[in-house]
Chains A and B, each alone.
Chain A
Amino acid sequence: MAGLLFASPWILGFGVFLLYPLIASLLYSFTNFSILRPPSWIGLSNYQEMAHDEVFYTTLKNTLLYVVGAVPLGTVVAIGLAMLLNSKVRGMAFYRTIFFLPTLVPMVVLGTLFLWIFNGDYGLLNAAFHKVGITAPNWLGDPAWAKWTLVLISVWGCGQAMVIYLAGLQNVPVSLYEAADLDGAKTWAKTRHVTLPMLSPVILFNVIMGIIGSLQIFAVPYVMFPDGAPARSTYFFSSYLFDNAFKNQRMGYASALGWVMFLITLGLTILAMRISERHVHYEGG
Chain B
Amino acid sequence: MAKALPGRPNKVAKTALTHLVLVLLSVAFVTPLLWMLSTAVKPITETMTSPPRWIPSHVLWSNFPDAVKFNSKELGYIPFLVYARNSLIVTVLSVGGALISNSLVAYSFARLKWPGKDLFFGATLATMMIPFPVLMVPTFALFKWLGWVGTFRPLWVPMFFGSAFSIFLLRQFFRTIPMELSEAAKIDGCSELRIFIDVILPLSKPALAVVALFTFMGAWNDFLGPLIYLVDQTSFTLSLGLQAYQTQHGGTPWNLLMAASCLTIAPVVVVFFLAQRFFIQGIATSGLKG
**Does B55 sit at the interface, judged by CB under 8 A?**
no
| Chain B interface size, under 10 / 10 to 19 / 20 to 34 / 35 or more | 35 or more
**Does B190 sit at the interface, judged by CB under 8 A?**
no
**Does B178 sit at the interface, judged by CB under 8 A?**
no
Contacts of A254 in B (CB 8 A): 136-137
Tell me the chain B residues, 14-31 only, with Cβ under 8 Å from chain A. Answer: 15, 18-19, 21-22, 25-26, 29-31
Closest to B159 in A: A13
Per-residue contact bits, chain B 86-100, to A (CB 8 Å; 1 contact, 0 not): 000000000000001
Q: Whole-angstrom distance from the CB of A206 to the nearest CB of chain B?
A: 9
Contact yes or no, A156 B29, CB < 8 A: yes
Contact yes or no, B239 A265, CB < 8 A: no
Q: Whole-angstrom distance from the CB of B38 to the nearest CB of chain A?
A: 9
Q: Whole-angstrom distance from the CB of A128 to the nearest CB of chain B?
A: 9
Q: Whole-angstrom distance from the CB of B287 to the nearest CB of chain A?
A: 9
Per-residue contact bits, chain A 189-211, to B (CB 8 Å; 1 contact, 0 not): 00000000000011011001100
Per-residue contact bits, chain B 210-241, to A (CB 8 Å; 1 contact, 0 not): 00000001001101100010000000001110
Q: Whole-angstrom distance from the CB of A87 to the nearest CB of chain B?
A: 6
**Does B72 sit at the interface, judged by CB under 8 A?**
no
Tell me the chain B residues, 128-156 only, with Cβ under 8 Å from chain A. Answer: 128-142, 144
**Does A108 sit at the interface, judged by CB under 8 A?**
yes
| Chain A interface size, under 10 / 10 to 19 / 20 to 34 / 35 or more | 35 or more
B265 contacts which of A89, A98, A109 (Cβ < 8 Å)? A109
A257 to B74, CA, bound (A): 37
Contact yes or no, B52 A106, CB < 8 A: no
Closest to A159 in B: B29
**Does B208 sit at the interface, judged by CB under 8 A?**
no
Contacts of A261 in B (CB 8 A): 131, 133-134
Question: Do A131 and B51 contact each other (CB < 8 Å), given the known contacts A3-B114, A164-B288, A242-B133?
Answer: yes
Interface SS majority for chain B: helix
Contact yes or no, B29 A124, CB < 8 A: no
**Does A99 sit at the interface, judged by CB under 8 A?**
yes
- Given A109-B264, A212-B128, 14 other A-B contacts at CB below 8 A? A2-B112, A13-B163, A28-B137, A96-B280, A104-B217, A104-B268, A105-B268, A109-B239, A121-B48, A122-B48, A202-B290, A222-B223, A242-B133, A261-B133
B contact set with A: CB distance below 8 Å: 15, 18-19, 21-22, 25-26, 29-33, 35-36, 39, 47-52, 100-101, 104-105, 107-109, 112-114, 117, 120, 123-124, 127-142, 144, 158, 160-163, 167, 192, 196, 217, 220-221, 223-224, 228, 238-240, 242-243, 246, 248, 254, 257-258, 261, 264-265, 268-269, 272, 276, 280, 283-284, 288-290
